[in-house]
Structures are given as C-alpha cells and as structure tokens.
Amino acid sequence: MKISKFLWSVLVVFATVALIAPQQVEAIVIDGRINGQIVFTGSGTITESNGLNSSGLNSNGISGSVINELDFNGQNFPHGPLSVTGGTGDFIPFVGSQANFNLAIRWTGSGSSVTLLDVLPGVGGPAWLVPIAGANGFATGTFFSLKSVTFDEDSLTLIGMGTTQTTSGDPLVQKDSAARIVIQGTGQDFTYNLTVVTTAVTPEGGSGLGLLAIGLVGLVGVEGLRRKIATRQNRYA
C-alpha cells in the first residue's frame, strides 16, 4: 500500500465533513432514527496483502491467515467514488451524489468465520461518506463487524453490520441508526461491478451494536471519523 496515496485519499474523502461541520454545529437538530436505504454502484477489486493471482484462492476464499482487501476503483482509488443510484426514506436527498470510503475493507477468514480489520473501539472501521449534491448535509455509514464474506474470481457477497447517520434539511436534522451493509458484485479476475446497499435497521434489544447506534448522536460520528484519520496518519507516519 502506498502511504502517500492512502493519506491523500482519506483527506480528500472527508474534507467535506471538515468544512461543513464547524459551520453547522449550532444548526443541527437531533431527531430520532433513520428510515430507508441507500444504494451505490461502482467497481471494486479484491487483493491479498502480498498480491493476488488467479491461483491464489481456493473455491471457498482464502485461509484465515491471509488478509483480504476490497479496494474501490475510481479517481480516489482505493476509496472510490461510487455513484449513489438509489435511496428511500431519509436517504432520498442523496441520490445523484457520489460516495467515497475512507478505507479499503480488509478482513481475514471466509464464509461466516470472518474478522473485520481496522476497527477502532467506539469509532468503528471502514466508513463511507456521501455529501448532498448542491446543498448542505451529508450521510455516513460505518462498518463495525462482518457477518459473512464469500467470493471467488467471478462473484462477491459481503455482509456487515454497523451504523449510519444522515444530516440534511433546513434547518439541518441529524438522524442515526444501526445499519446492515451488503456489498455484492459480479465480474472476472477478482474485479467486480459492485452494488452496495446500506439499510437502516432496528437493533435487537440489549445488543452492544444497538447501544452503540443509539449513542452515535450529535457530531460524535463526525468526530469519530476525524479521530480515525488521525490514528491512521500516526500509524503510517
């Protein structure tokens, strides 16, 4: 991984948040949980930490000792962008914009025995950001865990759980929710045409994830992303 590109892409992806948040802190109203889902489309490629070739995987994925990485292709590679092609409920204002991930998605294991990497306690792991095109406001979605990942050279299905947040409207209204994030793709040679669907969900009673989702109010989500950037800058300094 090239450190300079990594740091530059992270700063580009979240520059919008850094500019918007200080000006809008006093105007934001906290108002409940999100309803609906948001859909991205784009391209992505799976690699190993030491590189991947056509004979590097078995039919069920890779053994747990190998780190798998899903990079998002585009101008800000490996972070995207992806196009926001659909949205319902609170996500409707974001259709037509673009989404970028702050990190590539990395994990070990396969099937339902998978572990998401780069997760910071109380902050989360890889996250996407979508500004509203031509208006104030933004949405985010953050992975906290993976439920399953299956892939081969032709197809990919990745299912994760996390949180999502929207800030939109006039006056600005912020909403938070637990989220299910599903990435599916088809293609060849481990490069896929991707569909990313983030759906706001009601957390199960007593679950740690549910409590975390409820606790992500105010500008905590934004501040968490800033901490994540700072931590990884120190890590790769």
Could you read off the pLDDT of 43-82 as tens digits, one per residue? 999 998 754 444 444 333 444 479 999 999 999 999 999 9
Exposed, middle or buried: residue 4 (CB in 10 Å: 0-12, 13-18, 19+)? exposed
Q: What is the pLDDT of residue 205?
A: 53
Compute the distance between CA of residue 159 and CA of residue 145 in angstroms, rounded to an integer: 9
Compute the distance between CA of residue 54 and CA of residue 46 in angstroms, rounded to an integer: 11
Return the top range by mean pLDDT from 67-71, 204-208, 219-223: 67-71
Record the pTM.
Answer: 0.73
Token pair of 42, please? 């784009």
Compute the distance between CA of residue 87 and CA of residue 39 in angstroms, rounded to an integer: 6
More confident residue, 133 or 154: 154
Long-range contacts of 229-236 (CB under 8 A, 24+ apart): 229/10, 229/11, 229/14, 229/102, 231/120, 232/6, 232/7, 232/10, 232/103, 232/118, 233/7, 233/10, 236/3, 236/6, 236/7
Tell me phi and psi for residue 124, to 5 degrees.
Answer: 110, -170
Q: What is the pLDDT of residue 50?
A: 53
Neighbours of 144 (CB within 10 A): 24
Task: Determine the average pLDDT of the residues in 198-222.
Answer: 54
Q: Output DSSP code: residue 66.
A: S
For the cut 80, the answer to whether the pLDDT of residue 100 exceeds it is: yes
Compute the distance between CA of residue 70 and CA of residue 35 in angstroms, rounded to an integer: 28
Q: What is the pLDDT of residue 49?
A: 74
Lowest-confidence pick of 53-57, 126-130, 200-204, 217-221: 217-221
Task: Determine the average pLDDT of the residues in 189-216.
Answer: 71
Q: Cα(first)–Cα(last) distance of the chain, in Å?
A: 13
Compute the distance between CA of residue 42 and CA of residue 127 in angstroms, rounded to an integer: 16
More confident residue, 31 or 45: 45
